[in-house]
Amino acid sequence: MSFRSILQDMKDVKYSFRSRSHRVVQDNLVVVDALKQSCWANMRPELLREVLIRIETSESTWPPRRNVVACAGVCRSWRDTMKDIVKTPEISGKLTFPISVKQPGSRDTIIQCYIKRHRGNQTYYLFVSSSSASYDDGKFVLAAKKCRRPTCTDYIISLNPEYVSKGSSAYIGKLRSNFLGTKFTIYDAQPSDAGARIVRSRSTRLVESKQVSPRAPAGNYPVAHISYELNVLGHRGPRKMHCIMDNIPVSAIKPGGLAPTQTEFLTSNVDSFPSIPFFRSKSIRVGNCQSEVVPNQQEGRLNLRNKAPRWHEQLQCWCLNFNGRVTVASVKNFQLVASLEDGSEHESVILQFGKVGKDVFTMDYHYPISAFQAFAICLSSFDTKIACE
């Protein structure tokens, strides 16, 4: 039997179950009995695992990889098996489930993404590249919306491209800048380590008091701080930025080093994916969402800074080697490398961001930062910087 027919049979069972799930309890019992009697639900565990492994291996890129997500939504046994098969981006180099955006990127390969900017409604969309030749067939990952305030600017980051709001259950974090646009803080909606402390803000109290959504996460856990060097004298040249990752130890960039890895969303975020029971579990607790890898005071936090460009005499401009991933000169373009304790720079580029079209930008990252952290750092480059230009 071909994989195509296997996937079609699985979808028939899955959609049959969903289309009738809204009926009365008596009808639900009939649906459950039908599901139990299906050949796929009663498949032997060894054979089921072998089939799902082959599906996960064959569907390595998007959009075909949506079949892997569909398999995780068939039933509990399929979900548990697929949860064990699908590896984190650190190992597989793939973003499969929504929780992947909170997990560190691959150690061995660079995860290539691109960002599309919509000037009209001030929104930004992150996609995983399906091919290096096109920026129209990627898989949507995250969305962000710019919200101006009297003293700062917020970029609300969400898993839902149609409703980007802190009152949404798809809200996962935000980026906040100061008035000058020189200092930024990345906030996560849920703690990434046991020692994280929630930061109360006016918007946090507003969500709690108005009850925008009973499932909306109102936590503000700072995970990174970004600063741009002031350019008071107005010298022409690239921006100078510095990023401190609060929850990533500096040892993470060394061989065998570890970075915090979130394994599950909090209960409030779980309801964002009603069609994927992969994320529904009665045993979900805050402790399950936290990693025990916490940078201590002696070890220090990971510091990133932009790689210094070189001046090209013939072109009369500042240049960086983006390996063909950036084609348009822009003050927003940058490469981030780790700053070592002795003041030197790590040779490996952890994050690079650059312009390829009027409103299209590439974003490439790898371990130890996640897609959420990389996206938030890139959003800081879009913000207007009065004292840095």
Quick: pLDDT tens for 14-43: 444 344 444 444 444 444 454 454 566 677
Q: Whole-number mean pLDDT of the chain?
A: 77
pLDDT tens column, 240-275: 889 999 999 998 988 888 898 888 876 544 444 443
Over 50: is that where the pLDDT of 80 sits?
yes
What pLDDT score does 133 carry? Answer: 66
Q: Work out the average pLDDT over 96-120.
A: 92
| Paired tokens of 145 | 């919306």
- Name 237's Cβ contacts closer than 8 Å, sequence gap at least 6: 318
Q: What is the DSSP string of 315-343?
A: TTEEE---TTS--B--TT-EEEEEEPTTS
- Distance from the Cα of residue 339 to its chain's centroid: 23
What is the average pLDDT across 68-79?
86
Q: Which residue has the higher pLDDT, 351 or 203?
A: 351
Give the model confidence (pLDDT) of 356-383 as tens digits. 999 999 999 999 999 999 999 999 998 8
**What pLDDT is attached to residue 256?**
86
> pTM of the predicted model, to two decimals?
0.78
Least confident of 55-59, 187-191, 199-203: 199-203
Closest CA to 18 of 74, 83, 68: 74
pLDDT the model gives residue 194: 47
Q: Which residues of 194-206 are buried (b: 16+ CB within 10 A; e: fewer)?
A: eebeeeebebbee
b vs e for 70-107, b when ≥16 Cβ sit within 10 Å of the residue's Cβ? bbbbbbeebbebbeebbebbbeebbbbbbbbbbbbbbe
Q: Which residue reads 């980007």 in tokens?
A: 164
Token pair, residue 372, equals 């959420």
Residues in the chain: 389
What's residue 274's pLDDT?
Answer: 40
245 contacts 304 by C-beta, under 8 angstroms: yes
Longest Cα–Cα distance in the chain:
78
Q: Please, are residues 217 and 157 in contact by the beta-carbon 8 Å criterion?
A: no
pLDDT at 270 (0 to 100) = 42
| Out of 136-150, 162-176, 304-318, least confident range | 304-318
E runs forming strands in 170-320: 171-177, 183-188, 221-228, 241-249, 301-306, 310-312, 317-319
Q: What is the mean pLDDT of residues 312-316?
A: 77
Find the distance separating the first CA and the last CA of the chain, reported in whole Å. 62
* Per-residue model confidence (pLDDT) at position 386: 55
